[in-house]
Amino acid sequence: MPETEIKPTIKYLHPTWGADPEFFFARKNLVGNPSSIIGAEKILPKEGINTSGGKLIIDGIQAELNPYFNRCRQSFSYRIHELFQGVQRQIAGKRITINWNVLVKVTKKEMDSLSPDSKRFGCSPSLNAYGNYPQLPDASKYLYRSAGGHIHLGTSPGSSEQCVINMLKDGKEAEKIVKILDIIVGNTCVLLDRDEGEIERRKYYGRAGEYRIQPHGIEYRVLGNFWLKNYTLMSMVMGLCRQGLGFAENKKAGKELMAAVNELEIVHAINNNDFNLALANFNRIKPIIIKWCPNFTGHSLNDRSMPAFEKFIEKGIKKSFRGDPLKHWSNYRFTYEDKGFEAYLERKS
């Protein structure tokens, strides 16, 4: 009998998930007006709010979620649900709502009314895999603020996957991992997150290649907060990050992926939120993804899900997810039947 051909595959890895997504508080009767944005210090206590899912804190003008880490995307999503229940309790009975935009402009009056701590930008410097370090403007005079959606990839005590530990604890591997995440995650998210505010945000934050080394692993800082609007989008982003780690772990697959694209075009597509260039980049890596990610491997993008994902790109996320994100997360019910982005694509195929 002829031998069955064994197709090459990347591993389905199990990092711990963490994140620190941001959003803005706004006056309910002025949504869409710059005067609607309120500094988070006027809504949250200085010490933040502890919930069963993590902590809600002030981060400049923005509010930030710090959910407890988890190795399961579904369980992690429940932490976000618990945090947003805390948000809802905090603003109950007040003429306050949430502005989910990735970029807002604050009035000078509001800026002047805030404490020095709230006027500052983030305190810890970022690294960049391409050596691209923009000069930041004067935070007290620059009236724009952006909301990040950073993803933390780490390891947990007792992890059986030594390859994940080795990758995420080795600073020498960080730049390679981040560049692969840019190809699989950052560039792909440009196809979905078409908010023009990303262009202004990435003049200073969330540029291609931006990351931090953390005690638990790597903080990928390229994404905005678009994925915070729905569990399916959160599941997608973290699934793509898992897939990126799989390509980074497999030297042959990672080399093939990186050779398929022009690094400068990946950087340009992300930094300028250039849909057309990002699509051209994606079309170059599509055959690589199909080759290394058969359906049975469980990765978000694979040979079977690709047609449904391309339809998803055409439709865009605004048409697919129209509900109120706060209501979505506050009413979210964690069930093992809800399998996130892969199940979403399966229903659409």
Q: Classify 313 as helix, strand or coil.
A: helix
Average pLDDT score over residue span 135-141: 87
> How many angstroms from the chain centroid is the CA of residue 17?
11
pLDDT at 215: 84
Q: Are 68 and 17 contacting, i.e. CB atoms less than 8 angstroms apart?
A: no
Mean pLDDT of all residues belonging to the chain: 89
Give the model's pLDDT for residue 2.
Answer: 46
Integer Cα distance of 205 and 136 in angstroms: 9
Q: Using an 8 Å Cβ cutoff, are 326 and 65 in contact?
A: no
The answer to whether residues 149 and 197 touch, using CB atoms and an 8 Å cutoff, is no
Q: Which residue has the higher pLDDT, 164 or 78?
A: 78
Question: What is the per-residue pLDDT across 308-327, written as a single tens digit (0 to 9) for each?
Answer: 999 999 998 888 888 899 99
pLDDT tier at 168 (50, 70, 90 boundaries)?
Answer: confident
Residues whose CB falls within 8 Å of the CB of residue 278, separated by 6 or more in sequence, listed in order: 187, 188, 190, 191, 269, 270
Provide φ and ψ at 335, rounded to 5°. Answer: -140, 150
pLDDT at 7: 72
Q: What confidence tens digit (pLDDT) does each residue in 35-88 have?
A: 689 999 999 999 999 999 999 999 999 999 999 998 888 889 999 999 999 999
Domain definitions of the chain by residue range: 16-326
**Sequence-distant (≥ 6) Cβ neighbours of residue 303 within 8 angstroms:** 290, 293, 294, 295
Residue 31 has pLDDT above 70, yes or no: no
Of 274 and 14, the one with more pLDDT: 274
The amino acid occupying position 329 is W
Higher pLDDT, 154 or 268: 268
- CATH placement of domain 16-326: 3.30.590
User: Would the pLDDT of 160 be above 70?
Assistant: no
Q: What is the mean pLDDT of residues 147-156?
A: 90
- Residue 30 — pLDDT band, cuts 50, 70, 90? low
What confidence score (pLDDT) does residue 237 get? 96
Cβ 155 vs Cβ 168: under 8 Å: yes
Question: What pLDDT shows up at residue 33?
Answer: 62
Cα–Cα distances in angstroms (integers) from residue 25 to residues 66, 116, 234, in the given order = 17, 18, 21
Tokens of 63: 């509010």
Q: Please count the CA atoms within 13 angstroms of the CA of 83 that sit on its side-chain side.
A: 26
Under a CB-based contact definition with an 8 Å cutoff, are residues 176 and 166 in contact? no
- For 34-43, 167-176, 258-267, which range has the lowest pLDDT when averaged over its residues? 167-176
Residue pair 19/152 in contact by the 8 Å Cβ criterion: yes
pLDDT value at residue 59: 94
Which is higher by pLDDT, 165 or 249?
A: 249
Identify residue 179 by its one-letter amino acid code: K
- Is pLDDT of 3 > 80? no
| pLDDT per position as a tens digit, 100-115 | 999 999 999 999 999 9
What are the tokens at 18? 């963490």
**What mean pLDDT do residues 10-18 have?**
90
Of 209, 240, 196, 48, nearest to 129 by C-alpha is: 209
In eight-state DSSP terms, residue 124 is S
The CA distance from 294 to 304, in Å, is: 7
Report residue 208 CA to chain centroid gap: 13
Structure tokens at 204: 């200073």
- % of the chain beyond a pLDDT of 90: 67
